[in-house]
Structure 1
Amino acid sequence: MPPIHDSQRVAVLADSQNLYHTAHSLYSRNIDYTALLDGATLDRELVRAIAYVIRADSPAEEDFFDALRDIGFETKIKEIKTFGDGTKKADWDVGIVLDAITLAEHVDAIVLASGDGDFSRLCSHVRHQGTRVEVMSFGESTADELIDAADSFVDMSEDREQFLL
């Protein structure tokens, strides 16, 4: 496992839907994205921070997107899809994977803010390529295989007052 040091270049990829739903279901609170970014970079050089968000035409979501940009996140926005049977779907899994693989060649560490176990194979791949992978999420809802596949795991539940508004 490559160690953390302050000269590392870091990319932060935040799966905003995963974080939002987890924070609300566990604590009925919102994520503090400033604290998330600070906790992810640990005084290392931030190369890129991307928040993957869904536009669902809910009140104040544009304000949220603007706030993310003000904090320092690039926002990638996907429209929610409604199918004929009324079900809705929107996720960024493929986009996050593609960005992580592309960015891994340009950074020393990737911080993935998500608890989604679907990303465990991504972590293994990126680590095999020589890039450190760190996961930040809430322990109660983070897949064990994701934790196992990362170089390190920050359980945001252990410091709720830092990471939640």
Structure 2
Amino acid sequence: MAEIHPNQRVAVLVDAQNLYHTAQSLYSRNIDYSSLLEKSVQGRELTRAISYVIRADAPDEERFFEALVDIGFETKIKDIKTFGDGSKKADWDVGMSLDAVTLANHVDTVVLCTGDGDFSRLCSHLRHEGVRAEVMAFKQSTAEELIEAADSFVDLSEREETFLL
């Protein structure tokens, strides 16, 4: 697969729920999205940065969404669904995958910021299409098949001072 070079066009796709819950459960801290974006681009040409978020009517979530935009992310927001039995569900797996496949014709690299193993097949597909697939997540909660499917993996846990607030 292609090595990293300054003219590489990069799309950064962030599974905000996955990163948030992992950072909270492991460290009781929040993600530094500004550093995440900067380090994921690594001096290359940013084509798109999209953060996939869930609206759960939590305090300060609108401020969080606005902060993501200020940092440079396009936000895609999905409302949480509550079912008759009281269970709740909301995820962006299909939306992120469709965006990655669509962007693949316009970028050299897709950086997936998630530890969700459901994206391992997406990494394999991107690589097959000649697109570099990079993953950034916390290794403790990242599926091994996702790490193996990516061209590179950055363990956010190894640089807590950079990636956590």
Normalising by structure 2, report the TM-score. 0.99
C-alpha distance in 2, partners of 1:102/1:135?
A: 18
Taking every aligned residue pair, what percent have the same amino acid on both sides? 73
**Unaligned 5+ runs, structure 1:** none
Deviations for 1:5-56, whole angstroms, at most 9, x for unmatched residues? 1110000000000000000000000000000001100000000000000000
1:63-102 superposed matches below 5 A: 63-102=63-102
Q: Which amino acid aligns with 1:55?
A: R
1:41-52 superposed matches below 5 A: 41-52=41-52
* 2:138 is equivalent to residue 138 of structure 1: yes
**Runs (4+) of structure 1 moved beyond 6 Å?**
none
C-alpha distance in 2, partners of 1:105/1:37?
A: 21
Aligned twin of 2:122: 122
Aligned twin of 1:56: 56
Q: Which amino acid aligns with 2:120?
A: S
SS of the residue 1:50 aligns to = strand
* 2:104 is equivalent to residue 104 of structure 1: yes
SS of the residue 2:43 aligns to = coil
Aligned twin of 2:159: 159
Deviations for 1:95-136, whole angstroms, at most 9, x for unmatched residues? 000000000110000000000000000000010000000000
- For these two proteins, the number of residue pairs brought into alignment is 165
C-alpha distance in 2, partners of 1:136/1:6?
A: 19
**Unaligned 5+ runs, structure 2:** none
C-alpha distance in 2, partners of 1:4/1:145?
A: 23
C-alpha distance in 2, partners of 1:112/1:154?
A: 10
C-alpha distance in 1, partners of 2:29/2:47?
A: 28
